Amino acid sequence: MSIPMATISNGNGSTIQINTRPDDIQNRIVDVDENVQTNNDTCKNILVILSWIIVILTMPFSLFVCFKVVQEYERAVIFRLGRLLSGGAKGPGIFFILPCVDNYARVDLRTRTYDVPPQEVLTKDSVTVSVDAVVYYRVNNATISITNVENAHHSTKLLAQTTLRNTMGTRPLHEILSERETISGNMQVSLDEATDTWGIKVERVEIKDVRLPVQLQRAMAAEAEAAREARAKVIAAEGEQKASRALREASEVIGDSPAALQLRYLQTLNTISAEKNSTIVFPLPIDLLTYFMKAGFTKDS
């Protein structure tokens, strides 16, 4: 029997010949698959009938094996002869299984907490930091979490570690220290999209701590201290400037009224005496010295 050949051009001017199956050969393959499926269904039905017979013959003792209970926060994914049973996950409450034919897996739907171990990350500006985080997630679809991935929880934990390293490696140090909420939100969205096919819902991601090298901490502390000292000097200079202006205005007021100087002198004495000091210093008035200086100058002239 000759098999027809088909010619296909590969785009370079040359041609490639491939074998094409006749329609009757394709029909034979489909018929074989259908026959295998029919045989499997027949064996399945026979085993299910035998299981029902065993349950009926051993009643009521078989009821202790057939009826199972799952809690409010759990679901049961049932497999019958290796195939997923239609109807989705069962629960909460009581559900029925056939012995020797059905097996089931319990899935906890409660929120789990994963403490991501500290990850050594090289930031965008070439600074090595140690970052750790907390991931809150739960199983959103029990059936998918069992059938699509071998271990959904372990896979989510590994993905959380790699996502944390990849996210921190694309940002400079100042953004990591100042924009933790934004980074946590981006990580949550990225993890949620990646774990959606596993039946996992990532509810929240929080960055716990960012540890810097000791030398970098000392350098940043010295920089902050220098900045604070500079601001303190500027503030002190501004205060002295304002104080000098106030003193100038006060001297102008006192100069216009000689009695004000005398009152200020008496107020100073009152303040000194209130502190119970044994020594009181009497200031010598400037006007008296001025009088004697003028008198001496007139005599010399």
pLDDT tens readout for residues 235-274: 989 988 888 888 888 777 777 776 776 777 777 777 777 6
Same domain, 165 and 126: yes
111 pLDDT tier (thresholds 50, 70, 90): very high
pLDDT reported for residue 30? 42
Same domain, 262 and 205: no
Instruction: Give domain status of residue 239, yes or no.
Output: no
- 268 against 13, higher pLDDT: 268
When pLDDT is averaged across residues 131-141 and rounded to a whole number, the result is 92
Instruction: Give domain status of residue 146, yes or no.
Output: yes
8 pLDDT tier (thresholds 50, 70, 90): very low
Percent of the chain surpassing pLDDT 90: 25
1 pLDDT tier (thresholds 50, 70, 90): very low
pLDDT reported for residue 15? 52
Same domain, 130 and 62: no
pTM, to two decimals: 0.61
Instruction: Give domain status of residue 20, yes or no.
Output: no
Quick check: bond before 92 cis, omega within 30? yes
When pLDDT is averaged across residues 120-142 and rounded to a whole number, the result is 90
Domain that holds residue 102: 53-70+82-106
pLDDT reported for residue 271? 75
162 pLDDT tier (thresholds 50, 70, 90): very high
- 135 against 288, higher pLDDT: 135
> What is the C-alpha radius of gyration for the chain, rounded to an integer number of angstroms?
45
Report pLDDT digits (tens) over 20-79.
555 544 454 445 455 556 666 788 788 888 888 888 888 888 888 888 899 999 999 999
- 25 against 193, higher pLDDT: 193
Domain of 136, CATH number, reads 3.30.479.30
Same domain, 201 and 273: no
Same domain, 102 and 116: no
pLDDT reported for residue 16? 47
Instruction: Give domain status of residue 128, yes or no.
Output: yes
- 125 against 40, higher pLDDT: 125
* Residue-averaged pLDDT of the chain: 80
Instruction: Give domain status of residue 39, yes or no.
Output: no
Domains of the chain: total: 3
Same domain, 102 and 170: no
pLDDT reported for residue 64? 84
Instruction: Give domain status of residue 2, yes or no.
Output: no
Same domain, 100 and 117: no
Instruction: Give domain status of residue 22, yes or no.
Output: no
276 pLDDT tier (thresholds 50, 70, 90): low
Q: Indicate whether 185 pLDDT > 60.
A: yes
Percent of the chain surpassing pLDDT 70: 77
Instruction: Give domain status of residue 278, yes or no.
Output: yes
217 pLDDT tier (thresholds 50, 70, 90): confident
Same domain, 135 and 162: yes
Domain boundary residue, one of 195, 217, 239: 217
